């Protein structure tokens, strides 16, 4: 059992902190957001993540998990300090490390015995070295700490399962002592024979970016295939299925759609390009991936304009606002681009998402939010499915047609069979599939 402080209680910090407590460690989760900590102390999750609340309650009840805003107290009590603070994109696409360094500066003030300082946030390659330099420059002696890069690979929406049963754990460090402490923290995963990849810090930092850049590449690749399929009358779903049966390719991340979003791929691909640039080399593939993704989001609008050339005064219904199902996260969601483009053209929007409306309201308070998919479609000039929440998969098409002003559907997640929808009398478009009227 290790005493751990998890600094930053967002998607990653809360899930990882809870997961590490479930592995038998004693975890204090610390955040500067008092409201968030207050909620957590009252068993209210600040984020939507399936299965998380039960795991939080279980570990709080067992006395292994607690929440506080007292950073200094948490650092003093713990031997291992995880940092899971945000690393957003700076204006130029570079990763903004100011939150990471704020934590390091606080650590420098407080450290009075040996700590393992673990970076869970996704950080630029070389950040570990900068953390060491910063601590030393602030007078912390080198025998008082070791650093570890332990990047996180969980996916929002299935974060609990991903954390509890990861494909691998990456531990970047040059200290044998710190490596052994970390292995002990993750001991429960040994029993599941989870591969533990021990490496140096820079390589661990690079593994995270290379993994995300590769996954984003897969998505942009299949979106490009989808666009070609549309031009040559082929079906991207069948192409992807057959491709995915090839073990060298794998079927995951081969779903054509409105472009990737979320808190990771957009910022991590930009950072990847910057890392290459600053190192005097190039990331040509990933540069193109970013551009393909930008265009893919706009393609949704092109499809809409095909049916509704003038959006002025028209109301468009949006089904799904989160960047993917089972999360309330709207960071860089395709919905943000779609909303912006429609509003700029003088259109109105009615939107519904099972979990993400409060988050979207922070960006677009001016659009109309309704309580169900049935309400979204009432009286609208077209409807766009942007997130494949289960509840959108089997809607009553007859009802939708009867209440829409004009039965126009853009299905950016390919969840309906084109022929079925068209036979019901809809004008329908999707991504990369054959449309025969």
Ligand X SMILES: NC(=O)c1ccc[n+]([C@@H]2O[C@H](COP(=O)([O-])OP(=O)(O)OC[C@H]3O[C@@H](n4cnc5c(N)ncnc54)[C@H](O)[C@@H]3O)[C@@H](O)[C@H]2O)c1
Nearer to ligand X, 99 or 392 (CB): 99
How far CA 388 is from CA of 34, 189, 219, 270, in Å, comes to 33, 32, 16, 26
- If binding is defined by CB under 6 A, does position 328 make contact with ligand X? no
The contact pattern for ligand X, residues 230-269, with x = CB under 6 A and - = no contact, is: ---------------------------------xx-----
Binders of ligand X: how many residues, by CB under 6 A? 27
Could you tell me if 382 and 348 are in contact, meaning their C-beta atoms sit under 8 angstroms apart? no
Catalytic residue selected from 29, 229, 264, 430: 264
* Shortest Cβ 85–ligand X spacing (Å): 4
* Shortest Cβ 158–ligand X spacing (Å): 10
Nearer to ligand X, 30 or 81 (CB): 30
Q: How far apart are CA 225 and CA 228, in angstroms?
A: 5
Q: Which stretch binds ligand X (CB under 6 A): 97-105, 127-135, 272-280, 341-349?
A: 97-105
Q: How far apart are CA 25 and CA 4, in angstroms?
A: 7
- If binding is defined by CB under 6 A, does position 33 make contact with ligand X? yes
* Shortest Cβ 235–ligand X spacing (Å): 31
Could you tell me if 48 and 327 are in contact, meaning their C-beta atoms sit under 8 angstroms apart? yes
Could you tell me if 412 and 319 are in contact, meaning their C-beta atoms sit under 8 angstroms apart? no
Tell me which of 27, 55, 65, 85 binds ligand X, using CB under 6 A. 85
Neighbours of 389 (CB within 10 A): 23
Site for ligand X in 142-161 (CB under 6 A): 152, 154, 156
Non-local CB neighbours of 81 within 8 Å, separated by 6+ positions? 4, 5, 7, 75, 107, 115, 116, 117, 118
- If binding is defined by CB under 6 A, does position 32 make contact with ligand X? yes
Could you tell me if 373 and 319 are in contact, meaning their C-beta atoms sit under 8 angstroms apart? yes
* Shortest Cβ 373–ligand X spacing (Å): 26
Nearer to ligand X, 262 or 317 (CB): 262
- If binding is defined by CB under 6 A, does position 49 make contact with ligand X? no
Active site residue 430: no
CA nearest 100: which of 111, 108, 92? Answer: 108
CA nearest 168: which of 188, 193, 191? Answer: 193
Active site residues: 264
Residues lying near ligand X in the complex (CB under 6 A) = 7-13, 30-33, 36, 71, 84-87, 99, 102-103, 121-122, 152, 154, 156, 263-264
């Amino acid at each position: 059992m290790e005493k751990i402080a998890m600094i930053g209680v967002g998607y990653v910090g809360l899930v990882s902190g809870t997961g590490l407590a479930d592995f038998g460690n004693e975890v204090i989760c610390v955040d500067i957001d008092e409201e968030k900590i207050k909620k957590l102390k009252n068993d209210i999750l600040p984020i939507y993540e399936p299965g998380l609340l039960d795991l939080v309650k279980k570990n709080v009840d067992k006395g292994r998990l607690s929440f506080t805003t007292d950073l200094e107290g948490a650092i003093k009590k713990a031997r291992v300090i995880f940092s899971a603070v945000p690393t957003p994109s700076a204006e130029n696409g570079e990763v903004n490390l100011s939150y990471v360094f704020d934590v390091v500066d606080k650590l420098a003030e407080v450290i009075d015995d040996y700590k393992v300082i673990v970076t869970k946030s996704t950080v630029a390659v070389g950040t570990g070295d900068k953390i060491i330099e910063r601590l030393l420059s602030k007078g912390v002696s080198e025998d008082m700490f070791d650093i570890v890069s332990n990047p996180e690979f969980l996916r929002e929406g299935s974060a609990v399962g991903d954390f509890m049963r990861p494909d691998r754990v990456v531990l970047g460090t040059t200290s044998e002592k710190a490596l052994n402490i970390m292995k002990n923290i993750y001991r429960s995963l040994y029993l599941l024979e989870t591969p533990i990849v021990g490496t140096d810090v820079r390589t661990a930092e690079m593994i995270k970016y290379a993994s995300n850049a590769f996954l984003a590449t897969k998505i942009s690749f299949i979106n490009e295939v989808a666009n070609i399929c549309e031009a040559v009358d082929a079906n991207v779903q069948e192409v992807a299925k057959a491709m995915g049966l090839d073990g060298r390719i794998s079927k995951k991340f081969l779903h054509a759609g409105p472009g990737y979003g979320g808190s990771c791929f957009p910022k991590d691909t930009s950072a990847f390009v910057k890392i290459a640039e600053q190192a005097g080399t190039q990331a040509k593939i990933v540069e193109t991936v970013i551009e393909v993704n930008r265009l893919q989001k706009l393609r949704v609008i092109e499809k809409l304009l095909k049916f509704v050339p003038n959006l002025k005064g028209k109301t468009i219904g949006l089904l799904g606002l989160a960047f993917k199902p089972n999360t309330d996260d709207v960071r860089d969601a395709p919905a943000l681009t779609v909303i912006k483009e429609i509003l700029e053209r003088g259109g109105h929007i009615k939107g519904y998402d099972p979990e993400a409306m409060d988050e979207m309201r922070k960006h677009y308070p001016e659009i109309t939010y309704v309580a169900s998919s049935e309400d979204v479609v009432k009286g609208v000039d077209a409807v766009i499915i942007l997130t494949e929440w289960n509840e959108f998969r089997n809607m009553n098409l007859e009802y939708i047609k009867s209440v829409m002003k004009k039965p126009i559907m853009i299905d950016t997640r390919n969840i309906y069979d084109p022929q079925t929808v068209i036979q019901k009398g809809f004008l329908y478009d999707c991504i990369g599939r054959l449309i025969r009227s």
